[in-house]
Structure 1
Amino acid sequence: MKLSIDHSSPVPLHYQVEELLRNLIDSPDFSKGQLLPNEVDLAKQLAISRTTLRQAINKLVYEGLLVRKKGVGTWVAENRPLSTKSKNWLSFSQEMAARGIPIRNFELHISWVKPDPAIAEFFEIKKDKKVLKLVRLRGTTDGPFVYFESYFHPRVNLTGEEDFKMPLYEMLEQSHSIVAYKSQEEIGAILADDFIADKLEVDLHSAILYRKRFVFDQAERPIEYNLGYYKADSFTYTVESIRE
């Protein structure tokens, strides 16, 4: 089977390879349990590095679509998941679009700031190293219901000129070849202070949903530190888990 990708395309190579592998998995030639072509041969055929190839394979292994064993190779999983909702996560824009909810940006601000100690520690950078801060107040035509603060590792190489109206992780992948691969979250309830109460148009000391999200790339390096403040009567945070 002749396989190829478009090296002249603006779409990152690892993304093209990932889509190619997804199509292979769904093709009759690669039924469940079928070995994929050897990594060295496949990288040579696609004219890419093995690092780029492995980046794509790693994502599909993580999703449970492929299985890899040292000394054997990589093959299509025999028991592929019917749903990977517990492992696949989306940007806020993508999640709302999937639910058919039109979203409005009430505020969008970009600045360069010195990180506070928690952010500097997460990024493993010096406290005087400035990072890009993205602030967004978002909601529907009925009004705002979530306030986000995102901080990005300098390694991401954001300039501040990017289109932050796009779904965030889609923009990072298309513009900077950064794949948001893993998310860790802390969720709790807090009382709205003057600032958040004003932003979300709620009473002072109202209960709101507070979420920290720590985002990593495929090498498990930190790329984003995100804080979200949700209006409690307008938003329900649902977690789906699958027992295996």
Structure 2
Amino acid sequence: MIDRRSPVPMYYQIEKYIEDLIENKNLKQGDRIPSEREFTEQFQVSRMTVRQAVMDLVNAGILLRRKGKGTFVSGQRKIEKSLNGLSGFSEDMINRGMKPDSKLLDFQKIRPPASVVKRLSLGEGEEVYAIKRTRLADDRPMAIETTFIPASLVPGLTRQASNQSLYDYIEKECGLTIDHADQSLEAVLVTAAEAAILDVPKGSPVLLIERCAYLAGGKTLEYTRSLYRADRYKFMIRLPRE
């Protein structure tokens, strides 16, 4: 319950109270939690205090708000991904005890647009493999990923191989060593088509990740543009003090 003498903020105590209800199975996935008014009366606190506790759990993916219906237990936590190291989607999901999968949306060998030519430092007329996939974890859509790889680096890439772990294929089948990557992150809104793939409302905010990965010799290996569900992912970074 709530300890008014504790230095721990009231909203955080309420947050932990709700988490304990879920942990002890008093509230199960899909259950509607008490309203803000009910919590306000129960704990004799302001509605703003209750709202902060609930929104923290919504942002963590533990609770889910449905307009006009209330707040429900989602049964999911946001997946944390570190920005300190380079790993593929499949590796991330396996490390978290989840089953990774992909749904191939498009696979082509093309002459890329100028923006991709620049990012991959390609010569005139060079072709790339363009691979677009829905990335899934435990059969739920997590991201839309579009990858461009110079065809000269993976000459034997097939449609089937492109729908597996690309990093595994590149390192094990092609014998290439991935060294590092440059990556950027920003918030964008999904289109209607992207929303349908990710199973989120049209215009929902998502996390746009753009990455260029490089081989040990410095050659650009890939340019990838990924749209991650903001309600299922959060990115972590360690900042050492210089």
TM-score, with length taken from structure 1: 0.59
State the SS of the aligned residue for 1:212. strand
- CA–CA distance in 1 between the matches of 2:188 and 2:124? 27
Identity of aligned residues (%): 19
Partner of 1:196: 194
**Contact persistence 1:115–1:127 (CA under 8 A):** no
State how 1:38-57 maps to structure 2 within 5 Å.
none
State the one-letter code of the partner of 1:152.
I
- Whether 1:140 and 2:140 are equivalent positions in the alignment is no
Partner of 2:168: 170
- Whether 1:213 and 2:196 are equivalent positions in the alignment is no
Aligned pair count reads: 160
Match of 2:119 among 122, 127, 131: 122
Q: Specify which structure has the higher proportion of strand.
A: 2
Q: Deviations over 1:162-217 (max 9, x none)?
A: 62344321210111111111111010000111221121122221111000000000
Where relative contact order (Cα < 8 A, 6+ residues apart) is larger, the structure is 2
**Contact persistence 2:83–2:236 (CA under 8 A):** no
Partner of 2:109: 112
Deviation at 1:240, TM superposition (A): 2.9
Gaps of 5+ in 2: 1-81
Instruction: Give the alignment's Cα RMSD to 1 decimal.
Output: 2.2
Partner of 2:90: 93
Q: Deviations over 1:80-104 (max 9, x none)?
A: xxxxx87642111111111111123
- CA–CA distance in 2 between the matches of 1:107 and 1:222? 23
- CA–CA distance in 2 between the matches of 1:114 and 1:204? 31
**Contact persistence 1:86–1:241 (CA under 8 A):** no
Deviation at 1:117, TM superposition (A): 1.4
- Whether 1:160 and 2:118 are equivalent positions in the alignment is no
Change (3 A) 1:224 1:232: same
TM-score, with length taken from structure 2: 0.60
Partner of 2:233: 235
Tell me which stretches of 4 or more aligned residues in structure 1 moved more than 6 Å. none
